[in-house]
Structure 1
């Protein structure tokens, strides 16, 4: 039996445009069955697979994400990645904003 381990760690920060799709992957191995859990700003999400996908990003999706992988040998917490959501056509100084 092999405890879970991560093949790769995520980048520390990633920037995505509002409205785009986001796919986060938990690249872990170990003895099966492996169970995955995703956290957003340390709050549990309801997706329980090695991938977490958001089909259309908005500002509420910004923050820190990480996965937890576990099997009967133990559990491991992935390094967090910060997701920043940029707005391509945001109102602001010099952009026709108020």
Structure 2
């Protein structure tokens, strides 16, 4: 069954796969504001997408602008997951399962 995790869903997938979280962004090294105070329709920062990933197949670009409304982030994605996008400050923004046909998780809210 295809799975798409969004925001907290990406965090849940990471933990279910043995990964870890930063419980609060203040614990991670970050230079971007990942919790925006405006409309979800307004993108707030860029991410870098890994070529060859399912996410790249969908967005067809290496760099996209996304919205952001979270205070927790993935620290480690778990052994069976791979990181497929990061923000400019190196925060994990997307992960994918290495073996499953389609398990994709993104930290932002697609619009």
Q: Do both share a fold (TM > 0.5)?
A: no
TM-score, normalization by structure 1: 0.28
More strand by share: 1
- Structure 1 or 2: larger helix share? 2
